[in-house]
């Protein structure tokens, strides 16, 4: 397989996984957790004494995958993925959460894009960390404020999303090293 073909295959795999995070997060919130609140979310522990809706794991992963879409397919694909993801988020969110879900997705992914883009060529791991950290904070604040008018659960939201970013960082480091070794250039 040529390096260009490998870059495209990996890019489209990341794009598909990124898109899958949106319905997965919505499904997890209603179906997967250590405890499901009646008429509310299913929650998981994210730190001692702190819980968060289980979907936060997929939101954290989506931020990292968006970075990889951009690395493999380019900024235009990443921006298109953000646009389509926003529409998907609005389309599958419960009626009461459509605005909060879509706005949080759009603003967090754009914040991620704005930080990742200038850093990624020289410092990939730092770019993924800084952009994802910013994106997960923006996502949490916007969603909680619009959905509930309160930031009471901000800590759990941030911690839960950060776990997925932290798990992904060693893999990003290995990916960057492999790319350098085989001569695979970012888009």
- Name every residue whose Cβ is closer than 8 Å to that of residue 171 and which is 6 or more positions away in sequence: none
- 43 domain-assigned: yes
- 176 domain-assigned: yes
- Computed over every residue of the chain, the mean pLDDT equals 95
Nearest to 63 by CA among 171, 121, 12, 137: 137
3-class SS of residue 185: coil
Number of domains in the chain: 1
- 54 domain-assigned: yes
- 14 domain-assigned: yes
Instruction: Say yes or no to pLDDT of 167 above 90.
Output: yes
Nearest to 66 by CA among 110, 7, 26: 110
Per the CB < 8 A criterion, the answer to whether 120 and 74 are in contact is no
Tell me the mean pLDDT in the region 29-44.
90
- How many H-runs (helices) and E-runs (strands) does the chain carry? 6, 3
- In a 13 Å sphere around the CA of 26, the CA atoms on its Cβ side amount to 18
- 187 domain-assigned: no
Highest-pLDDT range among 74-83, 91-100, 143-152: 74-83
pLDDT band with cut points at 50, 70 and 90 for residue 20: very high
pLDDT band with cut points at 50, 70 and 90 for residue 15: very high
- 46 domain-assigned: yes
Instruction: State which residues form the domain around 39.
Output: 3-182
Whole-structure pTM value: 0.93
Give the whole-angstrom CA distance, residue 106 versus residue 30. Answer: 22
CATH number reported for the structural domain that contains residue 36 in this entry: 1.10.1760
- 42 domain-assigned: yes
């Amino acid at each position: 397989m040529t390096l260009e073909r490998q870059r495209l295959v990996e890019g489209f795999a990341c794009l598909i996984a990124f898109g899958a995070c949106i319905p997965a997060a919505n499904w997890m919130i209603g179906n997967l957790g250590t405890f499901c609140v009646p008429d509310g979310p299913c929650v998981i522990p994210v730190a001692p004494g702190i819980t968060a809706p289980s979907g936060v794991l997929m939101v954290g992963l989506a931020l990292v995958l968006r970075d990889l879409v951009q690395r493999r397919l380019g900024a235009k694909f990443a921006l298109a993925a953000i646009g389509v993801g926003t529409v998907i988020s609005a389309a599958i969110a419960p009626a009461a959460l459509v605005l909060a879900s879509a706005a949080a997705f759009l603003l967090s992914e754009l914040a991620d894009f704005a930080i990742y883009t200038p850093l990624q060529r020289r410092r990939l791991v730092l770019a993924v960390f800084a952009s994802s950290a910013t994106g997960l904070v923006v996502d949490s604040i916007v969603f909680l404020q619009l959905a509930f008018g309160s930031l009471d659960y901000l800590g759990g939201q941030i911690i839960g999303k950060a776990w997925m970013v932290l798990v992904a960082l060693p893999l990003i480091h290995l990916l960057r090293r492999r790319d350098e070794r085989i001569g695979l250039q970012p888009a």
